[in-house]
Structure 1
Amino acid sequence: MRRELEMNLSRREFLKSSLAAAAGMGALGLLGACSTQENTTSTPSPEATGDTVAAALDAPYTALSADAITEKTVDFVIVGAGPAGLCAAVKAAENGLSVAVVEKTGATGGCAKFGMGILAIGTELQKAQGEELDLDAMYNMFTEYTHYRTDCVLMRRYFEESKETLEWIEAMGVEFEEAARYFEKSYPTWHIVKSETGVIGGGQAKTMTDHLEARARELGVEFYLETPACRLETETGKVSGVCAVSADGKQGYHFLCNAALIATGGFGNNEAWVKEQFALNLDQDFFGMRFPGHEGDGIQMAWNAGVKQSEMIEEMIFDIFQPGSTGSYTNDIKLVIQQPNLMVNQQGKRFFNEEQVQNTTYTGNSLRNQTGNTGFMILDEAIKQSYVEANHVDFTSRVWNTDNFTQFDANFKTMEESGYTAIVKADTLEELANKMGIDPQGLAATVAEYNQLCADGYDPLGKGAAYLKPITTAPFYAAQYYPSSYGTLGGIKVNSNLEVLDQNDQVITGLYSAGTDSCTVYGDSYMFLLPGNTMGYSVNTGKFVGEAVSELLKK
């Protein structure tokens, strides 16, 4: 799914040319809500706060005449129609509040439309599969994994109420087909939305967000699509309004409200912020999923209103990429290549236990420590053929789903003809190294050392003997990998109740943030041991905010 998504959303030249017409509005840094439309903006630096930035964000709105601005009074305004925003809208509307949702792009669902499912613990589906997960054990494991760099109170509530939240979503007609593991050593917390096609793969969670939108509309929630928010208004420590303007710049809205939620999906599509915050270069040494609309403008809008900045991290993964490479590959090629075989850096040196390719966060972190942030998986014809003949690989995937490897050679030829160069084969190791920019002598020495480890059946870096397979038989294969990410996490400082804090750590009454904009619960690394975590966090925190606003306004 990730490769398909990259191919669909990363048509760089198309985007760059098609966005030229929108450059006028794009340069103004309009709000990047959590959804996916081919519309990119330029956002000011996180450090560039104050009147100048506020004016830039407001420019399309302030340029309107009074007659072009419609004033509306509602209880609750939600900025961003992703899973967090949708859940907040449904819960608040169920409790009788009037709700308006403003969304920059032309559709709801956010990047959840490309995902598969949510975390939950203690569900009936888990029990039916014979899986009894101990909530205390899951919580303790999580806090230890993060070295307590997490909001323990919020995470405990999230885990405790995750079952209830899943059942609440099920009551809207959503079915979950499996409580899955992401990889063998992870836990079956990933509740995958039932596929409408019968094939498991990316995009299944769109069914869930479609049901959430339908339920919200049924309850009277008003949606303003292609209507980016541009300003938060506060009075004496309380939120008082949200301003927004249509994407064509012709219609403005001034929402008067007593509560507002920012849930806009982070800044994974903002090259300047990614470089500034993480010292990474999008599409050069880091290939994050660039969901259009995720430029961090909602976070910037909050900062302009005096909100405190939280820490920020990448939701780190890794994948096959190569700067400038075009073409495509099929799932069987991906799965045969991405197995626990030899991985080296540009110097041809091995650098970690390749068994961890199961845990995409760990592998992404390891790649970040290498020259150029890159590494190369190496295997030979014998290893490849063993997978093809068995029609099975060491590590399967529910994302890259396939049960047929028999067409590998034909598919590989098609891939080569498409011009894709991030995966190659060669008759010698030297030729392979030269094709991929690996030091040939370093690779030759490492392969010799690695083959001896395979003969000995022991790896000092900790890889199991079952995965120690020598590299001896031509042709040889290599794939180039870089760190990637699903997006970014954090930016807006909140307390355990998801209330937004000002520069003095005081609550701005009625202002909340949920989902990735304020998600700082993972410490320095996303936790794939409990899969479904970020989408689970989004739906749960969105629901929590809907409940909190209902209590605050006492409808």
Structure 2
Amino acid sequence: GGTANMGMGPLGINTKIQKANFNEISVAEALKNQMEYTHYRVNGRLVARYFKQSASTIDWLEGMGVKFAGAFRYFKESNATWHIVDPGDGKIGPGCASAMNKALTKRAEELGVKFYLETPVKQLLTKEDKVTGLLAESEEAEYTVQAKAVVVATGGYGSSAEMLKDRLGFDLDKNFFTFNVPGIKGEGLKMMWQAGAQKYGDTVEMIYILPHNLEYMVADGVLRQPNLMINQDGDRFMDEGMLGNTTFSGNAMFLQPGHYAYVIMDRAILKQYQDEGPDIMDIVHPAAGFKLLDPVIKKAEENGYEAIITADTVAELAEKLAIPADKLQKTIDDYNSYCDHGQDPDFFKNPDYLHKLTGEGGYLVGKFYSGAYGTVGGVKIDENCQVLDDDDKVIPGLYSAGSDANTIYADSYNFTLPGNTMGFAVNSGRIAGLEAAKYIAK
């Protein structure tokens, strides 16, 4: 299941679930959104085929027993395209999409598919510029498989420190953090490149997270509210009201020294959130977490975890953040004056989010880094998921789907259509299967 096992559900457009809740968005609207968001720097035919098919894919999944809790927005400004999987216990959250993967696996086995686990493919076989099979091996055996078509869907290279550094310049687990899903090492891309595939469009779905955030998910949700955010120089650098859009905020954080930022609140603000609810609601970080923060802070202290910081005074906070105390104090004083006047002359943040930092009860700080769920892209495909060579010609017999071939975002993930990466994975998988079957039947 790869990174999808960490996720919550795929995108769907113009689905029955959306229509039942009056949340429908047309394919035309979604296509316009995606193409304008990416400044038309992506394959419109591929995006259109994916979006047109997405509603039938939700029906297809339901036909295999997948249940959906509904169609949701990620944050207020996004569209309700995120079809979150009901894992069976009614509790939706990170990882609930694994129930979908189990249903897909069960159906595949019913159809006679055999899965060779711990049997990595080592090479694609080619003959006269066609892909004709593959070589694979386990501890017990080696396999030479002759095939008229091969689909490569190995999930990118989000867990390969070497490839992230060489291809994109990121330092994994130092100033850039992913889910580090085991096995997502880019082998499939390397094999396709060796078989003549064009190296194309690989990037990441930039977000921001607390390092190793699955262990500190409660704090990640509480501390990412739109309070004072500064870089290592002690300066604000954006409207914190945009923290709900993790792509925009992750992009901005990546431009800061060290590729991180500090988001600062105090316990008086925390109490306000506990009583009245957070400023920014999202489906991943439920409001209940605001009453569960203290055990996570204690865990962080016991583990020497450096991304959750507490302090009783500005002087103590400045020392812990390694920012000159006079600079930090001035930044806080300036920010508090904006709160007093209900106006942010620097970045024009929504006045509803201007909460004065008094330090009452102590300061609470999250050190958020740029990160990603994983990588996307690496090979160029057409709307039929056929892999293309350096001359944009089809490599017969070679198809790719999912994150290996996901080049529909240009430089930034489109969080206004949430569920997009998992939606592309499921739909491109279907497209690749359908087109490979046609090719084999010729």
Partner of 2:67: 175
What's the CA shift string for 1:496-527, capped at 9, x where partnerless?
A: 22111223322111111111111111010111
Partner of 2:54: 162
Output the CA distance in 2 between the equivalents of 1:404 and 1:228: 40
Partner of 1:252: 142
SS for the counterpart of 1:416 is: helix
Partner of 1:523: 410
What's the CA shift string for 1:229-256, capped at 9, x where partnerless?
A: 011112223221111001x2x4111111
2:217 maps to 1:347: no
Question: What pairs up with 1:73-472 in 2 under 5 angstroms?
Answer: 109-246=1-138, 248=139, 250-321=140-211, 329=216, 331=218, 333-390=219-276, 392-403=277-288, 405-409=290-294, 411-460=296-345, 461-472=347-358
SS for the counterpart of 2:116 is: strand
Give the 3 Å change call, closer, same or farther, for CA 507–411 of structure 1 in structure 2. closer
Q: Which moved more, 1:396-405 or 1:375-384?
A: 396-405
Output the CA distance in 1 between the equivalents of 2:224 and 2:436: 46
Partner of 1:480: 367
Partner of 1:69: none
Counterpart code for 1:156? A
Contact 2:210–2:369 at 8 Å: present in 1 too? yes
Output the CA distance in 1 between the equivalents of 2:324 and 2:195: 52
Contact 1:380–1:473 at 8 Å: present in 2 too? yes
SS for the counterpart of 1:313 is: strand
Counterpart code for 1:452? S
Output the CA distance in 1 between the equivalents of 2:285 and 2:193: 39
2:431 maps to 1:553: no
Give the 3 Å change call, closer, same or farther, for CA 411–549 of structure 1 in structure 2. closer
Output the CA distance in 1 between the equivalents of 2:380 and 2:52: 23
Give the 3 Å change call, closer, same or farther, for CA 429–544 of structure 1 in structure 2. same
SS for the counterpart of 2:274 is: helix
Contact 2:2–2:184 at 8 Å: present in 1 too? no
SS for the counterpart of 1:192 is: strand
Give the 3 Å change call, closer, same or farther, for CA 308–122 of structure 1 in structure 2. same
Output the CA distance in 2 between the equivalents of 1:313 and 1:410: 36
Contact 1:328–1:420 at 8 Å: present in 2 too? no
Output the CA distance in 2 between the equivalents of 1:524 and 1:285: 19
Output the CA distance in 2 between the equivalents of 1:525 and 1:488: 12
Partner of 1:513: 400
Counterpart code for 1:141? N
1:350 Cα deviation from its structure 2 partner: 0.2
Contact 1:335–1:393 at 8 Å: present in 2 too? no
1:453 Cα deviation from its structure 2 partner: 1.5
1:327 Cα deviation from its structure 2 partner: 11
Give the 3 Å change call, closer, same or farther, for CA 145–228 of structure 1 in structure 2. same
Counterpart code for 2:291? T
CA RMSD of aligned residues (A): 1.8
Output the CA distance in 2 between the equivalents of 1:521 and 1:439: 43
Output the CA distance in 2 between the equivalents of 1:412 and 1:283: 21
Counterpart code for 2:161? E
Alignment partner of 2:389 out of 483, 496, 502: 502
Partner of 1:532: 419
Output the CA distance in 1 between the equivalents of 2:286 and 2:268: 23
Give the 3 Å change call, closer, same or farther, for CA 281–407 of structure 1 in structure 2. closer
Counterpart code for 2:93? G
1:411 Cα deviation from its structure 2 partner: 4.9
Q: How high is the sequence identity, in percent, across the aligned residues? A: 42
Contact 1:274–1:281 at 8 Å: present in 2 too? yes
SS for the counterpart of 2:291 is: coil
What's the CA shift string for 1:474-509, capped at 9, x where partnerless?
A: 312211110011000111122222111223322111
Q: Which moved more, 1:189-198 or 1:380-389?
A: 380-389
Counterpart code for 1:550? A
What's the CA shift string for 1:299-357, capped at 9, x where partnerless?
A: 111111121111211111111139xxx995462x3333210101000010000111111
Counterpart code for 1:205? A
SS for the counterpart of 1:485 is: strand
Counterpart code for 1:422? A
> Where in structure 2 are there 5+ consecutive unaligned residues?
none
Corresponding residue pairs, total:
440
SS for the counterpart of 1:424 is: strand
1:144 Cα deviation from its structure 2 partner: 0.5
Counterpart code for 1:320? L
Contact 2:24–2:80 at 8 Å: present in 1 too? no
Counterpart code for 1:541? S
Output the CA distance in 2 between the equivalents of 1:490 and 1:361: 17
Counterpart code for 2:167? Q
> Where in structure 1 are there 5+ consecutive unaligned residues?
1-108
SS for the counterpart of 2:438 is: helix
